[in-house]
Amino acid sequence: MTKPSLLILSLGELGTSMLEAAARSGLFETIIVASRNIEKAQERTGNAIIGAGLEGFFPDIRAEALDFGAPDFGRKLSDIAPDYLFSAPSMLPWWKVDAGDVDLPFAGFTALHLALMVQLRDRLAEAKHRPFWIGASYPDVINAVLNRGGYGPDCGIGNVAEPIPKIQRHVASRLGCPAAQVEVSLVAQHAFEYYILNAETYDSLPPHLLKATVAGRDVSDIASEALRSPFPFPFDLHFNRVTASAGIQALRALTGEQPARTHLPGIGSYLGGYPVTASREGIKIDLPDDWSMDQAIATNDASLSWDGIAAVDADGTIHFTDKTASALRSLLGQSCDTLDVRNAAAHAKALLAAL
């Protein structure tokens, strides 16, 4: 059977890491690298072609000039007609953000990602061809915001999936079994991994649900020990390589013929991340029998405040916590209690000016 095609749109650090990982994955017949800067796309394409070829992988990788801010974007996308689209646009990537003396929670920077994702969503909605869309810009929240107000990404990558190898290794070490035999189910939101993948230990953790089994035996108590064990981790540019690995894990499931277990954030209108089964046929949230969907949703809703969000309405309006709203007021000199698709561009412009 013919392998699918992947379009990587927006060539930041994460997009580039995804390109290099996808080129070596064996999952795709064709990988299209798209940017409004065609020279940059060609250079990144060349790098991936040589590196993947040296490792024995030769997918068709090519560069395309494509600007989702341009009026002809929808037509060009339909001409390319990719099976899967990966996007992670941001006006200011997280690793460049510096709010100075203002203690601004992570959610305070949401507009810098949402504004571009709204623009991309609107252009994609105009296209005749709609690929499976993986939105990786703060997917735990932004994907839900877009889908609750209309069209949005099918899912995100990373976040909920990234602490799981740490949990598997801890359980395997304690029980003397291969780490791959440790089955983990985790419901968690974006903030969770920053407490788990950290050299420090914390008395309190963001709300989450965790279950682990080995050959049918419940070892969740041992898995829980891993959450508070010190784990030095670089939250810098190297982190993008980890997220790209999570992306390939997700794509391996999403492009498969048979359903495979994995974890995904930002599934449709759901906030946070969930255990799922995924294949070419789609995504199904796959909770342990003793967890209810209402319980899982409530867990991720309760975790929002750890990022600085009080709630997200049914129409996608974000309500900031008092701490986030107060910090934004100090930084911008204006009231910013809520954020939605209509005011995201203006909010992002003000943030860029302040930062």
| 298 within a domain of the structure (yes/no) | no
Residue 142: other Cβ atoms inside 10 A: 27
Residue written as token pair 């789609």: 282
In this predicted structure, what is the pLDDT of residue 99?
59
User: Cα–Cα distance between 255 and 100 in angstroms, integer?
Assistant: 43
Q: Which of 155, 190, 213 is the last residue of a domain?
A: 155
| 257 within a domain of the structure (yes/no) | no
Q: For 202-211, what is the mean pLDDT?
A: 96
Q: Does 39 have pLDDT greater than 90?
A: yes
The CA-atom distances, in angstroms, between 238 and each of 109, 113, 213, 224, 241 are 21, 20, 31, 26, 6
User: Cα–Cα distance between 58 and 26 in angstroms, integer?
Assistant: 8
Q: Does 94 have pLDDT greater than 70?
A: no
Q: Does 117 have pLDDT greater than 90?
A: yes
| 201 within a domain of the structure (yes/no) | no
CA 305 from chain centre, in angstroms, equals: 18
Contacts of 264 (CB under 8 A, 6+ apart): 155, 156, 157, 160, 161, 250, 273, 274, 276, 278, 283
User: 94, 105, 157, 48: which is closest to 331 by C-alpha?
Assistant: 105
| 289 within a domain of the structure (yes/no) | no
At 130-146, the pLDDT tens digits run 999 999 999 999 999 99
Residue 95 — pLDDT band, cuts 50, 70, 90? low
| 256 within a domain of the structure (yes/no) | no
Query: In this structure, what CATH number is given to the domain that contains residue 119?
Result: 3.40.50.720
Q: Does 11 have pLDDT greater than 90?
A: no
Into how many domains does the chain fold? 2
Q: Does 26 have pLDDT greater than 70?
A: yes
At 208-247, the pLDDT tens digits run 999 999 999 999 999 999 999 999 998 888 899 999 999 9
User: 242, 258, 247: which is closest to 6 by C-alpha?
Assistant: 247
Any idea what the Cα angle at residue 110 is, between residues 17 and 341, rounded to 5°?
A: 110
At 279-307, the pLDDT tens digits run 999 999 999 999 999 999 999 999 999 99
| 39 within a domain of the structure (yes/no) | yes
Instruction: Average the pLDDT over each of 126-130, 160-164, 254-258, 314-318 and give the range with the smallest value.
Output: 126-130
| Arithmetic mean of pLDDT over the chain | 95
Phi, psi of 138 (to 5 degrees): 45, 60
Q: Which domain holds residue 330?
A: 309-354
Q: Record the tokens describing residue 32, joined without a space.
A: 């299209």
| 64 within a domain of the structure (yes/no) | yes
Q: Does 346 have pLDDT greater than 90?
A: yes
E strands present in the chain: 5-9, 30-35, 60-65, 84-87, 132-135, 182-187, 209-214, 217-218, 260-265, 273-279, 282-285, 309-312, 318-320, 338-339
Q: Which of 155, 170, 192 is the last residue of a domain?
A: 155
Q: Which of 99, 134, 155 is the last residue of a domain?
A: 155
Instruction: Average the pLDDT over each of 189-198, 217-226, 230-239, 267-276 and give the range with the smallest value.
Output: 230-239
| 179 within a domain of the structure (yes/no) | no
